[in-house]
Amino acid sequence: MKGIVLDRTLPGQIDFREIPENQLQADQVKIRIKAAALNHRDEWCRQGLYPNISDGVILGSDGAGVVEAVGSQVTNWKVGDEVIINPALFWGNDQRVQSRDFQIIGMPSHGTLADFIIVSSDRIFPKPSHLSWEEAASLPLAGLTAYRALVYQGKIQASDRVLITGFGGGVAQFAAQFAIQKGASVYVSSSSSEKIQKAEALGAIKGFNYKEANWVEKALEEMGGFDLIIDGASGDQLNQLIKVARPGGRIVIYGATLGNPKTMEARRIFWNQLKIIGSTMGSDEDFKSMLDFVNQQKIHPLVDQVFPFERAKEAFDRMRAGDQMGKIVLIP
């Protein structure tokens, strides 16, 4: 089979090449990939900034496709079924936290940026019929992360004023769309006025440019701060979020694109009775709830650009530059 393999000996760190195919096991299914999507994780791997990475592995956690073959014990799927893949492996039984064995498809096991992938049959779900292949491939990892952060960890209420930071990001666009559908008053932050306009067109009330030094003061003056903040950037900006949270507010962190903060406004956290909560991807239960919600509300992932596998390096470079609005998709 052919896929986009991590190879840090090369100048672009990735290569579209032929690799030997694994044997299909009795409880597994083989999927012909119709579309796959990038997550920032893929780019962290390319930069060598993700733990436990090894060259020679096909990258990619998100994919949608058609069942090509089923193992001898698989009875609930048949050749030709249209599916999406849950990339979270071995979460375990505890809804609060993943097990020590937790893994994500696409490192250390082979991922979705390939013509075929073999996965356990319990990792596939019917492709939402209202979605194109490109949209369906965009959903799993980022949709799951956004859903758990908002619903399980953030305990979103319709009465909440919610801030989603960095709306252009893959997770953030889902968090904003889900929060809007949950009936909350949704605000976004972004470095781009076009992206803010896009959020407003989808039902967000307003956006703030996080590059403007006074955006926190502006938000506090205009609407008094936020009950719930969903953030994937962290870094020293976390202190701005602590400042713009309303007393009693919750800040859910699912990523640290900017790294760790050097200092932390501890006094403001305790005085304002804030909750700072961590969130990572999601359990099988979260995945099923997210998928049901997307099907019920007919939510469409925002697809930024679609690249053929042969142009994967351009797709990865676009993610590194942060130019995207939503998900970057690759097709075989």
Ligand X SMILES: NC(=O)c1ccc[n+]([C@@H]2O[C@H](COP(=O)([O-])OP(=O)(O)OC[C@H]3O[C@@H](n4cnc5c(N)ncnc54)[C@H](OP(=O)(O)O)[C@@H]3O)[C@@H](O)[C@H]2O)c1
Interface contacts to ligand X, rule CB under 6 A: 39-41, 44, 142, 145, 165-172, 189-192, 195, 210, 232-233, 237, 254-258, 280-281, 319, 322, 324
Nearest distance from C-beta of residue 121 to ligand X, angstroms: 24
On whether the CB atoms of residues 132 and 158 are closer than 8 A, the answer is: no
Non-local (6+) Cβ contacts of 10 within 8 A are none
How many angstroms separate the CA atoms of 162 and 176, rounded?
Answer: 9
Task: Please report how the helices 193-202 and 170-181 are oriented relative to each other, as an axis angle in degrees rounded to 10.
Answer: 30
- For ligand X, the closer of residues 28 and 189 by Cβ is 189
What's the DSSP call for residue 23?
P
Nearest distance from C-beta of residue 275 to ligand X, angstroms: 17
If you count them, how many residues does the chain have?
332
- For ligand X, the closer of residues 69 and 277 by Cβ is 277
How many angstroms separate the CA atoms of 15 and 330, rounded?
Answer: 14
Nearest distance from C-beta of residue 44 to ligand X, angstroms: 6
- For ligand X, the closer of residues 121 and 234 by Cβ is 234
- For ligand X, the closer of residues 51 and 80 by Cβ is 51
Q: Given the structure tokens 């319709």, which residue do they identify?
A: 158
Q: For the CA atoms of the chain, what is the radius of gyration?
A: 20
Q: Given the structure tokens 């690759």, which residue do they identify?
A: 330
Nearest distance from C-beta of residue 304 to ligand X, angstroms: 9
Paired tokens of 122: 């319990």
Q: Report which residue's Cβ sits closest to ligand X.
A: 255
Non-local (6+) Cβ contacts of 269 within 8 A are 242, 276
- For ligand X, the closer of residues 177 and 280 by Cβ is 280
Nearest distance from C-beta of residue 125 to ligand X, angstroms: 19
Nearest distance from C-beta of residue 268 to ligand X, angstroms: 19
